[in-house]
Amino acid sequence: MKSAFLWLLSATCALLGNHGLAAITLHHDAGSTTFERPPQRIVALTWSHAEILLTLGITPVGVATVSGYRKWQSNHPPLPDTTIDVGHRGNPSMEAIARLKPDLILGYNFRHQNQLGRLQGIAPTLLYRQYPSSSQPDFRYFEQMLRITRDLGRLLNREQQAETAISDMEDTIRSARQQLQQAGLQGQPVVLGKFVGMGMGLRVFANQAMSADVAQQLGLQNHWHSALPGRDFSHIQLPQMLALGNCHLIIFGDDSNETALMEQSPIWPQLEFVVNHRYYRAPNSWGFGGPLSATLMAQRIRNALLGYAP
């Protein structure tokens, strides 16, 4: 009897591994990967994964293009100075990654699929889809970021933190929706955009984008529907903004030089949303992040439309 108990105990320990957790298999967009224990040293090749890890209370040992996370993602949550920059997002340094001795690498398939073999030679690698494709035309990043957050929460033994972040996001969206409804803005058309260094050109987000999903959940109507192939946004020039009509245009980020260029154009005062005072500026919001980015986006859309200070 005693020997049978000891055998059962030994088998159970083998199944649970060193951390008291059963092996976990994650199905990602480049296959399936099984982990015997939660990874401890993680390299994030995308700012989105870096944000989600930090939201879960985990600091990645390496991140690609650290300066970009601090500028374009807006450094929220803050990325510690101890995190090592492993090179460009699209072409990271394999040597820099290997030196960190990671036990997990996170990336996007559209950027890193062609490097997957080399990355897997360093550590188990999970690749996730960021944009729609011809094979997945109904793909929506909002649903994907929920999946990634829950996947990493389960893998890293941070499921409670993942669900708390998602719940906080849902509470914020619900509250903001009620405020917008009380202000009579239910169903109003909005276009969400940001400057990305195109002079008088603007990036605007289509229905598949996280920003559009957030707007819809706020009770608004995303008014821009077309996207570049394999993306969830388009780039439009100032004359094309005439087609936006009497929408509410919210531009994220502070690029005052590009704003000044537009406002000096003779086209600008003819735009219907300008004539009707439906043009707003909001603090930078990362449209490819996790629950925290979606929370901030909901707050900033609400603040812009209700005239709150940023």
Q: Are residues 21 and 114 in the same domain?
A: yes
Which segments of the chain does DSSP mark as H helices, in order?
2-16, 47-55, 66-68, 94-99, 109-112, 116-120, 141-155, 159-182, 210-217, 256-263, 272-275, 291-306
pLDDT value of residue 309 = 61
Q: Are residues 191 and 296 in the same domain?
A: yes
Q: What is the mean pLDDT of residues 239-253?
A: 91
Q: Which of 12-26, 139-153, 174-188, 294-308 has the lowest mean pLDDT?
A: 12-26
Residue 198: pLDDT over 80: no
Q: Which two tokens stand for residue 209?
A: 């984008």
Confidence (pTM):
0.88
8 Å CB contact between 139 and 180 = no
Q: What separation in angstroms does the CA of 40 have from each of 35, 63, 103?
A: 12, 15, 7
8 Å CB contact between 189 and 247 = yes
Q: Are residues 107 and 197 in the same domain?
A: no
- Model confidence band, residue 199 (pLDDT cutoffs 50, 70, 90): low
- Model confidence band, residue 162 (pLDDT cutoffs 50, 70, 90): very high
Residue 134 domain-assigned?
Answer: no
Domain end: 110, 128, 146, which one?
A: 128
Q: By residue range, what is the domain housing residue 190?
A: 186-306
Residue 194 domain-assigned?
Answer: yes
Q: Are residues 111 and 194 in the same domain?
A: no
pLDDT value of residue 13 = 45
Q: Are residues 286 and 192 in the same domain?
A: yes
Residue 275: pLDDT over 60: yes
Domain end: 58, 93, 128, which one?
A: 128
Q: Which of 88-92, 176-180, 214-218 has the lowest mean pLDDT?
A: 88-92
Q: Are residues 115 and 36 in the same domain?
A: yes
CA–CA dist 46, 149 (Å, integer): 14
Who contacts 160 (Cβ-Cβ below 8 Å, separation ≥6)?
153
Residue 285: pLDDT over 90: no
Q: Are residues 114 and 199 in the same domain?
A: no
Q: What is the mean pLDDT of residues 146-174?
A: 97
More confident residue, 112 or 16: 112
Q: What is the CATH number of the domain that holds 102?
A: 3.40.50.1980
Residue 159 domain-assigned?
Answer: no
Residue 55 domain-assigned?
Answer: yes
Count up the domains in the chain and report the number. 2
Question: Three-state SS for 231?
Answer: coil
pLDDT value of residue 101 = 97
More confident residue, 285 or 59: 59
Residue 43 domain-assigned?
Answer: yes
CA pseudo-torsion sign 149, 56, 164, 306: negative
Q: How would you class 216 by CB atoms within 10 Å of its CB: exposed for 0-12, middle for 13-18, buried for 19 or more?
A: middle
Residue 136 domain-assigned?
Answer: no
8 Å CB contact between 248 and 191 = yes
Residue 169 domain-assigned?
Answer: no
Q: What is the pLDDT of residues 21-63, one digit of tens each?
A: 589 999 998 889 999 999 999 999 999 999 999 999 999 999 9
Domain end: 87, 103, 128, which one?
A: 128
